[in-house]
Amino acid sequence: MTCYAYAMRLESTGSIHITSNDPRVAPAIRFNFLSNAQDVEITLATIRIACATITAPAMQPLQVMQIAPSEVDVCDDDALLAWTRAFGETTYHPIETCKMGLDPMAVVDNRLRVHGLHGLRVADASIMPTMTSGNTNAPAIMIGEKAAPMVLDGAV
C-alpha cells in the first residue's frame, strides 16, 4: 500500500525562465514549494492524516508499516516541515505552465494559439488553467481531441 499526502490546489507558485538562446542550456526552474502559509498548514494536516490512517488499529491486521516520514515527530510542525522540504516532490503531472485564457498570465488563447506568435499552438496538459482533481490523462486526451480540428481549420 502506498499513501501519498498532498494538497491539490496550492497557492505557492514557482517560475521557469530561459537562461540562454542555446536550447541545450537548461532553464532556471524555481519550484518555490510551500512558500504560502496556507499551503504549509494544509500540507502538514494531510501528512498527519495519512500517518494516522497507516497507523490506525484497523490497519494492524494488514501488517502495514509507515516507512516515511520515519523518525519524525508528526506533532512537531518544524520537524515535519523540515522533512517535507527535504523529501517532498511533485506528483508527476505538471500542468498550468502554458495557461489558456485572456488574462495577463495566459500563454494561449481559446484556440490554443500562443499569444503573440503566429503559427504556434500548445495542445497538452500545460494549458489547463487550474489543477484537475484526478489524473490528467483524460483531460489531456480531450485537449488533443479538441485541438485536432482547430489545427486542421487553421491549415486550410
Give dist(CA 6, CA 89) in Å, integer.
Answer: 10
pLDDT value, residue 139: 93
Side-chain-side CA neighbours of residue 101 (13 Å)? 12
Give dist(CA 60, CA 39) in Å, integer.
Answer: 31
| Cβ-based neighbours of 35, under 8 Å, separated by 6 or more | 12, 13
- pLDDT (tens digit per residue) in 121-131: 999 999 998 88
- pLDDT (tens digit per residue) in 91-104: 767 788 899 999 99
Residues 138-152 have a mean pLDDT of 94
pLDDT value, residue 141: 95
Active site residue 17: no
Give dist(CA 55, CA 76) in Å, integer.
Answer: 17
pLDDT value, residue 37: 95
Give dist(CA 80, CA 6) in Å, integer.
Answer: 13
- Report in angstroms the alpha-carbon separations of 121 from 62, 99, 104: 50, 12, 18
Phi, psi of 140, rounded to the nearest 5 degrees: -65, -40
pLDDT value, residue 9: 80
Give the other-Cβ count within 10 Å of 52's Cβ.
Answer: 11
Q: Which residues on neighbouring strands pair with residue 67, listed in sequence order?
A: none
pLDDT value, residue 92: 67
pLDDT value, residue 44: 93
Q: Could you tell me the pLDDT band of residue 155, with boundaries at 50, 70 and 90?
A: low
pLDDT value, residue 65: 78
Higher pLDDT, 134 or 35: 35
On whether the pTM is more than 0.85, the answer is no
Higher pLDDT, 71 or 85: 85
- pLDDT (tens digit per residue) in 8-28: 788 888 888 999 999 999 999
